[in-house]
Amino acid sequence: MGGKGQSSVELLIILSVVLVVLAFIYIASHQQLTESQHQVRISQARLTVSMLASAAREVYAEGPGARRLVTVTIPEGNSESRTGIFNESMINIGLFLEEGTSDVNELVPFRLVEGADFPKRPGTYVLTVEAFEGYVVIGNPSYTLQPGTIALELLPTDSETRVLNVTNYLNTTLYITLNLSWSNPNTTVNLNGSSVLTFQVAPNSSVLVNVNFASTNASLGTYLGAIYANTTGYGNSTVYLILQIVGAQPPVPTGVSYILIDTFNDSSYSTPSSVFDPTETVDIHGSNFTANSQITIRIYDSSMTLVHSNTTMSNSSGGFTYYWNPGMPLAPGEYNVTANDSTRIASWKFNITGCT
């Protein structure tokens, strides 16, 4: 009996050891499997974000109307509330992991809009990435407001009207309200004569809205505002407003004569000196404009008086180079340069320092 009892105890001990070993193997295997699954999901999210960002950059560089179809995968265990377009510039996919929520994202240097069918749940999807004037839509849009940015220049007392195109891509009527945000002194903006405009757009059609700008003895400078679009069930959108108040270009002088004056290095006027032409070429470079569009270049002196105005064209990537030779010496001071393609205004500064 004693031998049998001892054998039973030994067998139980052996079985216990085996079970403990198997438990450790199971736990280690489970952790390894979980980690592998996490890596696969993170890799899928990174690939999706990267492909969408690359397609967005391509169509933005090509200009309005450019389009790509991109096949992407939203991985299992994603956070629906953290999947999509954020801050109008970031593509993000949030993932629930054992250690918490992890975000996979990528930023682009231009405006992004989330389309009506941007996927929020796991699965494989074919998404449209399309460039519009001033922004890119990822997913099929339910509606668009064109242009996405309205930029213009006015004299201190002046007026001008721009047209906002509201297009409904749905097969149902779109109900929309436009709210104007503008609070700048001596300047006014209205939407068909109002600050709040509510209307409906028939299926697959457009409505044009007049955006009226006016200035009365306004100070020189840049004024900013926005139009906020609210819809019933189809998301919200924003149109940015940029108004630049500029000075008038002075008239070109007529009847001017030029004389050559001999200069000398000594008080007895016996050693001639050379006078070199002090004029220089101003080299202006720009990027992130609408591809193949006309760009208006304006240069102002320190009092914001216009001293030069001309146009140039952007290349297929939205960049441009412009050279300006003043033809005569510029007065010392700070000069401002603006480049305007009707969707955005970029500005630079350069200084002229007098010789001593």
Q: For residue range 172-198, list pLDDT tens digits in order.
A: 898 999 999 999 889 999 999 999 999
- Among 162, 170, 169, which Cα is nearest to 227's? 162
- State how far the Cα of 135 lies from the Cα of 326, in Å rounded to an integer: 35
Contacts by 66-70 with C-beta closer than 8 Å and gap 24+? 66/130, 66/131, 67/128, 67/129, 67/130, 67/131, 68/128, 68/129, 68/130, 69/126, 69/127, 69/128, 69/129, 70/126, 70/127, 70/129
Element (H, E) at 47: helix 2-62
Look at residues 133, 134, 91, 94 and name the one whose alpha carbon lies nearest to residue 114. Answer: 91
Tens of pLDDT, residues 128-172: 898 887 889 998 878 888 888 888 889 999 999 999 999 888 888
Whether the predicted pLDDT of 8 surpasses 60: yes
| CATH 2.60.40.1930 domain range(s) in the chain | 258-352
| Spatial contact of 244 and 281, defined as CB atoms under 8 Å apart | no
Select the more confidently predicted residue: 84 or 340: 84
Domain 143-245: give its CATH superfamily. Immunoglobulins (2.60.40.10)
- H or E segment and range at residue 227: strand 221-231
Q: What is the pLDDT of residue 162?
A: 94
For 194-238, the pLDDT digits (tens) are 999 999 999 989 999 999 999 999 988 889 999 999 888 777 788
CA 143 to CA 235: how far, in whole Å?
9
DSSP sequence for 50-82: HHHHHHHHHHHHH-TT-EEEEEEEEPTTEEEEE
| Closest alpha carbon to 187 in 152, 232, 238 | 152
Inform me whether the pLDDT recorded for 14 exceeds 90: no
From the list 311, 296, 289, 304, the residue with the least C-alpha distance to 336 is 304
| Rounded Cα–Cα distance for residues 212 and 309 (Å) | 24
The Cα diameter of the chain in Å comes to 137
- Which architecture does CATH list for 258-352? Sandwich (2.60)
State the span(s) of the chain assigned CATH 2.60.40.10. 143-245
Residues β-bridged to residue 79: 94
Q: What is the pLDDT of residues 269-308, one digit of tens each?
A: 665 554 444 446 677 878 777 777 888 888 888 777 788 8
Q: For 270-282, give the DSSP string.
A: -SEE--------E
355, exposed or middle or buried, with CB in 10 Å at 0-12, 13-18, 19+? exposed
